[in-house]
Structure formats: structure tokens, C-alpha cells
Amino acid sequence: MITVEKTPSYVALSENPVVIRLKTDNSATVTGTKARLVLYFGSVIYTGSGYQFSITFGGNTYTFTMADVPDNSGLQFPKAATGDNNLSWMAKIKDALYQNYYISEKYDLSYTYNQVWLTAKETGSTYDITGQNISVSGMSVAAYAATDGQTREFFKL
């Protein structure tokens, strides 16, 4: 659809330029998709510390370590407290990952009963993200790659 962003003035004197600005959303044939990473935790972990998993994006790998009380480094996540269930522990892990500046800058985080989801804020393969379980018992990782948008060749407005 084509929309007018700036209309010309009602009066235009001779030999003065008449400016009109148009906009369209029809230049793209494929809009592209967002990258997504799902961290699946099979069970709540109440004991131990030092368990690790890593997340890789933008050419950098960030290793997250379980701690009794996470610091503000953005590279630690908490073990479950005595009263935690899957849902409350996932909320704590999501909040801990959100403390990482680079993750919070490029990805939206959400959680379900036993999963934490990282979804890119923008479309395109620039935001592809992967993960690996290093030593967290019962954890698995699923990465879904993004696709780049494509514009129509020779499209002009």
C-alpha cells in the first residue's frame, strides 16, 4: 500500500519545486524472521553450584555459571530456592540473563513452565544465536535461525 507522508502545498509558484513524500510497505518480498533460542530445563536444581551453559551470538560466547547468590556480572544464574517450582525458577533465570547487557540489548526474554526463550528484537541473520549445555543436569538447548528480509528487485516508487 502506498501512503502519502508529505503533501504538496496548495499554492506553488512558477518554477518552484513541488515536494511530495510517499511511503510503501510493498518493497519487501520476504520480511525476514527473528532468531530464537530456547533453554529447556528438565528439572529444578536445588543443590550444587558451578554448573554452566553458554550462549553464542555476534561472534562472542558468554558462559553462564550457577551460583548460590548471583552477582551483577550478568554471567551467573541462581540455583533454585527451597520453595521454587519450575515456573518461579524460570523467572529467576530469565531475570539473571536479562542482567547481561549484551543479551538485554539484542534479545527479548520470556519464560514458560520449564523454558526460557530468547527472541531477537530485530529480524535477520545478524541476530542468530546458539547455545550449549556444558554441565547443567537435564538441560537442553534449541536454536532457531533467523532469515533475512528480501526486497523486490528494481522496485521504485
CA atoms within 13 A on the CB side of 28: 10
57, β-bridge pairs: 60, 129
Does residue 78 have a pLDDT over 80?
A: yes
Q: Torsion over CA of 143, 122, 54 and 95, rounded to 10 degrees?
A: -110
Does residue 37 have a pLDDT over 70?
A: yes
Whole-structure pTM value: 0.79
